[in-house]
Structure 1
Amino acid sequence: MQNANSPVAAGGCVSTDRIDTEIAHSARIYDYIIGGKDHYPADREAGDAMVREWPALPVHMRANRDFMHRAVRHLAEEAGIRQFLDVGSGIPTSPNIHEIAQSAAPGARVVYVDNDPLVLTLSKGLLSPAAEGATAYIEADMRDPASILDSPAFRETLDLDRPVALAVIAIVHFMLDEHDAVGIVRRLLEPLPAGSYLAMSVGTAEFAPDEVGRVAREYAARGMPMRLRTHGEAAEFFTGLDLVEPGIVQVHKWRPDGTGTEVIRDEDIAMYGAVARKPG
Structure 2
Amino acid sequence: MTSALLSVRDLRASYPGPAGPVQVVHGVDLDLARGEKLALVGESGSGKSVTARAILRLDTDATLSGRVELDGADLLTLPPRRMRAVRGARIGLVFQDPLAALNPVMTIGWQITQPLVIRGVPKKAARRRGVELLARLGVRDAERRFDDYPHQFSGGMRQRVVIAIAVIADPDLLIADEPTTSLDVRVQARVLELLHELTDERDMAVLLITHDLGIVAGFADRAVVMRHGRAVETGPVDDIYRSPRHEYTRALLAAVPRIGGDHTRPLVTIKEGGQ
TM-score range relative to shorter protein: 0.3 to 0.5
TM-score normalised by L of structure 1: 0.34
TM-score normalised by L of structure 2: 0.34
Higher relative contact order (Cα pairs below 8 Å, separated by 6+ residues): 2
The structure with more strand, counted as a fraction of residues: 2
